[in-house]
Chains A and B, each alone.
Chain A
Amino acid sequence: MLGSIITPDLFASALRMATPLALAAIGGTICERSGVVNIALEGIMLCGAFAGVAVTLAIGNPWLGIIAAMLAGVAIAAIHAFTSINLRSDQVVSGTAINILALGVTGFLMEIMYGHPGTTEAITTIKPIFRFASESGNSFLGTVWHWINTIFLSHTPIVYLTILIAVVAQWAMYNTRWGLRLRALGEHPRAVDTVGVSVLKGRWVAVLMSGALAGLAGANLTLEQVGSFTENMTNGRGFIALAANIFGRWTPMGSYEASLLFGFADALQIKLQIFRGQINIPSQFFLMLPYVLTVVVLAGVVGRAVGPASVGKPYEKG
């Protein structure tokens, strides 16, 4: 049985499942590094998921759907930026309001656009980029090729784009002026202000970037994975992404790696459900797995995680 669980498509699925988490987690990393907590990732992702499907259904072009999802993410994130940076609201409260708003807006729009709640019509999902033939078991080399092909070469564009984003963001955070300023914004905004760089502008840019990334995460969910939108379909992924950001110690690559762990847990629980009859454990316990794992990870497999010093504190120009 183990042989039928540990297969190349389990790892391929882990990589797919990790993608929306990683995008949102990197968004969360950038946002929190600038000093703004982003509990709203969940709602932003949901809006992105909806916008992607709505535009694809209307125009028939999923690429425009992706762009729409990112723009929707940016628009929602702008609300968070305005309330938490300009109005200096409690950032966690503002994020919560956005999560509720996202549920309301997507549900409301769904009913007035499609006339019913629940799930939208299906769209044609974006196909994997490469399609090489491979088969396992013919020869040793053939099997190796099959594993490589399935795990790494069977994916849709956003999956690869996410890896690229993680690498670039990691590099930029530690090797560019933008990265240095971003980190300083979250640690010591007064110092940034003193050298004549606008704290408000820096934080705005970071929050909007996180919105674009979380919106893209939503697009990946609907346009590449599921193929339709269902109310509240993000199902806590935004919160798991926040945990991945913490587990990844507020770095883009760390966030990506932590997301891989959560993605693997998700892939494993889906795979295990197929064998439910044989192992006789109810499916609900598998469905709990990613959430349990998130708590376990936060419980300090990693020990005490320390975030940016000024995260969550509104900045007032003195």
Chain B
Amino acid sequence: MSAEAEEPSTKRDWAAIAQKVGVPLASVLLAMIISSVIMWVSGYDPFAAFAALFRGSFGTPKAFGDTLLKSTPLILAGLGLAYGFRANLFNIGAEGQLFMGGLAVAWLGLLLAGQPWWITIPVLLLAAMLAGAAWAFIPAILKARIGAHEVITTMMFTYIARYLVSYLVIGPLKSPGQIPQTGLLPSESQLPRIQSLFSEATLQAMPFLKLGRAHTGIVVALVAAVVVWWLLKYTTLGYENRAVGYNPFAAETGGISVQWTIVKALCISGALAGLAGAVEVMGVHYRLFDQFSSGFGFTGIAVALLAKNHPIAVVPAALLFGAMAAGGGTMQLEANVPQKIILIVQALVIFFVAAEGIVTYFVRQRQKEATSHVG
């Protein structure tokens, strides 16, 4: 689970990388084949479905913009999950921390109205990280001190966060009007759309920049990916994180505080999930309501696993699932296939990536057959 890619220097290293990339690619391919069979059996045309999915996610600059839009929180949530996995911690409740990040931004953004953007944006992003980390803190302490399973505790905190947000947007934070949502963020707290950074003339000359709703949160996500990669590879913090993931007993013997490392790992994981909530509020909705996340925290699990927990690989993995989220609507509209099939694809990808023993399993079956023929 904690495979580490080294700098390629010889042919053998390239082969190792090919193998590392090969397993995820094969997993995606297998998942697509099996889901095609499911669609076919259910009376749909899988080719039409995937063609529509592709058109809806990469077909036009606007469609690609939607893919970027959906990938942005997925990169951040995926990074959070991956960082936790590296310490052998499963932050299954990233969705709850994402909610708290969104909440922090929606609330503080209104209070900071009137401040210049170079103050509001960094302050809001930081606040979202703190909120996400805070929401992971109790599960982290419980894991470190008494070994309470983080899968159960972070999951419970996700439900608590959902009800909390659902109460706040109906109650104290509700903006005037019929709809249960918070007030609109002032423009200096909004992450601008990418196409708004270019002049009309530039967009005319380069129409591929007309990325529709895609916003600059993608920059935050890409920077985060590099920072997490650097943290894991070059800092003591990252080293301790990986050491605890590999073997907590050895790490403890080596002088690393396992408990403290667990707390830090889950909180950093939570901070990244909080950022995912922040970009969704600051870049897409500009306000908070109880359905503002379409399960990005949960899809982040699939993203991290597909990326084999490598922070840089999280980016293409998130693009894949972001494309499915973006193209799902087109697929349902044009090929009539219920969007839920995407969840099935997601689950299948996780199965195949996780089943590293699949190859050895079939080899063993072969051997068994061979020996039984001999006997």
* A-to-B contact residues, CB < 8 Å: 39, 79, 83, 86-90, 92-94, 96-98, 100-101, 103-105, 107-108, 111-112, 117, 235-236, 239-240, 242-243, 246, 282, 284-285, 287-288, 291-292, 294-295, 298-300, 303-304, 314
Contact = CB atoms under 8 A, between A and B. Distances in A.
Tell me the dominant secondary structure on chain A's binding face. Answer: helix
28 contacts: A83-B354, A83-B355, A87-B355, A87-B357, A87-B361, A89-B357, A94-B354, A97-B350, A100-B343, A100-B347, A100-B350, A104-B340, A104-B347, A108-B338, A108-B340, A111-B340, A236-B159, A239-B152, A242-B151, A243-B152, A243-B156, A287-B163, A288-B163, A291-B156, A294-B152, A295-B156, A298-B153, A304-B146
9 closest pairs, A vs B, by CB?
Answer: A104-B343, A101-B347, A107-B340, A284-B167, A97-B350, A111-B338, A104-B344, A88-B357, A108-B340
B171 interface: yes
Interface in B97-145: 138-139, 142
B156 A101 contact: no
Interface in B145-200: 146-149, 151-153, 155-157, 159-160, 163-164, 166-167, 170-171
Contacts of A86: 357, 361
Given A104-B342, A112-B42, A242 B163 contact: no
Contact of A101 (B147, B152, B344, B357): B344
B354 A282 contact: no
A83 B155 CA distance: 23
B305 A93 contact: yes
Nearest to A242: B152
B41 to A, nearest CB: 10
Interface residues of B, number: 48
A239 B355 contact: no
Given A96-B301, A242-B149, A242-B152, 11 more contacts: A101-B347, A108-B341, A111-B338, A112-B42, A236-B156, A239-B155, A243-B152, A291-B160, A291-B163, A295-B153, A298-B149
A89 B356 contact: yes
B279 interface: no
Contacts of A246: 149, 152
A294 B151 CA distance: 12
A299 B151 CA distance: 14
Given A89-B354, A288-B159, A107 B1 contact: no
A97 B347 contact: yes
A186 B147 CA distance: 19
B1 A295 contact: no
Contacts of B142: 295, 298-300
B32 to A, nearest CB: 14
Contacts of B350: 93, 96-97, 100
Given A105-B344, A108-B341, A92 B148 contact: no
A107 B339 CA distance: 9
Contacts of B342: 104
A130 B372 CA distance: 58
B358 interface: yes
B164 A284 contact: yes
A302 B299 CA distance: 34
Nearest to A107: B340
Interface in B287-333: 298, 301-302, 305
Nearest to B138: A295
Contacts of B147: 304
Contacts of B338: 107-108, 111-112, 117
Contacts of A288: 159-160, 163-164
Contacts of B163: 284-285, 287-288, 291
B151 A92 contact: yes
Contacts of A98: 347
B199 to A, nearest CB: 43
Contacts of A88: 357, 361
B343 A83 contact: no
Nearest to A302: B146
A214 to B, nearest CB: 16
Contacts of A112: 42-43, 338
A93 B352 CA distance: 11
B344 to A, nearest CB: 4
Nearest to B338: A111
Contacts of A79: 351
Nearest to B301: A96
A297 B136 CA distance: 18
Interface string B1-12: 100000000000
B216 interface: no
B156 A239 contact: yes
Contacts of A303: 146
A314 B351 CA distance: 16
Interface in B254-308: 298, 301-302, 305
Contacts of A285: 163, 167
B346 interface: yes
Contacts of A292: 156, 160
B1 A100 contact: no
Nearest to B332: A111
Nearest to B42: A112
A291 B148 contact: no
B90 interface: yes
Q: Max chain A CB contacts within 10 Å: which of B152, B159, B348?
A: B152
Nearest to B143: A298
A147 B346 CA distance: 50
B368 to A, nearest CB: 11
A25 B302 CA distance: 26
A241 to B, nearest CB: 10
A58 B160 CA distance: 37
B63 interface: no
